[in-house]
Amino acid sequence: MTREFRRQRTSLFTPAPVVHALRGVSLDIAPGERFGIVGESGCGKSTLLRIIAGLDQPTSGVVEVDGVDIARLPERRLGFLREKLQLVFQDPMSSLDPRMKVRDIIAEPLVAQGKRDTLPRVLELLEAVGLQPEAADRYPHQFSGGQRQRISIARALAPDPQILVADEPVSALDVSVRAQVLNLIAELVDRLSLTLVFVSHDLSVVRHVCDRVAVMSRGEVVEIGATEQIYDAPQHPYSRQLVAAAPRLRAALAGRTAADLAADTLAAKERP
C-alpha cells in the first residue's frame, strides 16, 4: 500500500512536490492479535493508522477488513467498519470535544448508529474504565490527562468493537499514569478479546502490550516479528538502532555519551 501527499506548489511551472508518506507497506494482522507499530515521528505510523481506520485513503493498494476492501469505499458506506473498529487518540486534550458532556462524548458512536437511551451503556463503560458514574455529567476539562484517556477508551469501546486501534495513547501522559492506562488497555483487550493495533514511538511501551511488532522507518515497514524477537535480536539496522536507543540510562551509565549516540545515528543513516 502506498500513500502520497501533494505538498503546496512552490512554483507555478513545476508540478507540486510529492511526499511519500507510505511506500509499499504490507501487513497482515490476525484476529485477536495484539499488533504494535513502532517508528520515529514522521515515519508514517499515523498515516498508516488512519488508512486502517478508514479515515484516509491510500494512493494505491488495498485495505481488507474481514475480506472487504475499505480503501475504495466512500465514507458513508463504512458503517460496518465504524461498528467493528474504534480508535483511541494520542492527545487527551484535543480528542474530546470541550463543549460536550462526558456522557454525550461516550455515547457518540452509539448515537451515530441510531441507538437511543444510551445512559445505561455509558455508565457501564465508565465503570469498565475505572471512572465514577458522576463523571457522566462533567465536561472534559474537569479531568486529568489519564482520566481523559480513560474517557477516550470508554468512547472507543461503546459500540462493542472487535478491533481497537490506539494511536500513541500514552505518549502524552505522565510516566506515573502511563502504566495504569497501558494496563487498562491490556486488560480490556484481554477481557473483550479484541484485536489491538497499537502505535507508538516507544518500543518499551509496545513491548508492554503487544505480541507482534512492525518497525517502520521513512514510510516503509523494515521489520516484522514477535515482540521479544525484535527486542532481543533485531535484524534490520534501524530496528537495532531503535532498540539500542531505548534503554538510554543504562547506556549512559556504561559511559556512552549523547555524542556517541548521535554518531551512531549518523552512521546508521549513511548506511544504504
Partner 1 sequence: MTLPGGLSRLATGLQPASSQRSRRGVSATIAIGGGIVAFIAIVGLLSLVWTPYDPGGIDPTSRLQLSSSAHWLGTDKFGRDVLSLLMAGSRTTLVVGIVAVGVAALIGVPLGIMSAMTTRWWGEAVMRANDLLLAFPALLLAIMLTAVHGQGVVTAMVAIGIASIPSFARVVRSGAIGVMKTEYVLAARAAGRRPLAIAFRHVLPNVTSLIIVQASVSFAIAVLAEAALSYLGLGAPPGTPSWGRMLQEGQELLFVAPRLEVFPGIAIALAVLGLNLLGDGLRDRFDPRLRDRR
The single-letter code of the amino acid at 223 is E
Query: With 0-12 CB in 10 A as exposed, 13-18 as middle and 19+ as buried, what is 120?
Result: exposed
Residue 114 vs 255, nearer CB to partner 1: 114
Among 7, 141, 191, 271, binds partner 1 (CB under 8 A): 141
Kindly state whether residue 78 participates in binding partner 1, applying the rule CB under 8 A.
yes
Nearby residues of 163 by Cβ (< 8 Å), 6 or more positions away = 65, 84, 85, 86, 194, 195, 196, 197
Nearby residues of 199 by Cβ (< 8 Å), 6 or more positions away = 36, 37, 38, 45, 46, 48, 49, 165, 166, 167, 168
Instruction: Give which of 207, 198, 197 is closest to 243, Cα–Cα.
Output: 207
Nearby residues of 44 by Cβ (< 8 Å), 6 or more positions away = 3, 21, 22, 25, 216, 218, 219, 220
Whether the CB-CB separation of 70 and 54 falls below 8 Å is answered with yes
In angstroms, what is the minimal distance from the CB of 35 to partner 1? 18
In angstroms, what is the minimal distance from the CB of 158 to partner 1? 8
State which of positions 79-98 bind partner 1 (CB under 8 A).
79, 82-83, 85-87, 89-91, 94-98
Residue 98 vs 272, nearer CB to partner 1: 98
Cell of 174: 505522565
Binding map of partner 1 across residues 22-51, x = CB under 8 A, - = no contact: ----------------------------x-
Among the listed ranges 3-11, 53-61, 211-219, 234-242, the one in contact with partner 1 (CB under 8 A) is 53-61
Kindly state whether residue 4 participates in binding partner 1, applying the rule CB under 8 A.
no
Residue 49 vs 230, nearer CB to partner 1: 49
In angstroms, what is the minimal distance from the CB of 227 to partner 1? 26
Which backbone phi and psi does 25 adopt, to 5 degrees? -85, 130
Cα distance between residue 115 and residue 66, in whole Å: 24
Residue 84 vs 218, nearer CB to partner 1: 84
Cell of 21: 508518506
Binding map of partner 1 across residues 161-200, x = CB under 8 A, - = no contact: ----------------------------------------
State which of positions 91-130 bind partner 1 (CB under 8 A).
91, 94-100, 105, 108-109, 112-113
In angstroms, what is the minimal distance from the CB of 261 to partner 1? 32
Size of the site for partner 1 (CB under 8 A): 32
3-state helix, strand, coil in the chain (%, to 5): 45, 20, 40
Whether the CB-CB separation of 45 and 31 falls below 8 Å is answered with no
Interface residues toward partner 1, by CB under 8 A: 50, 53-55, 75-76, 78-79, 82-83, 85-87, 89-91, 94-100, 105, 108-109, 112-113, 141, 152, 155, 159
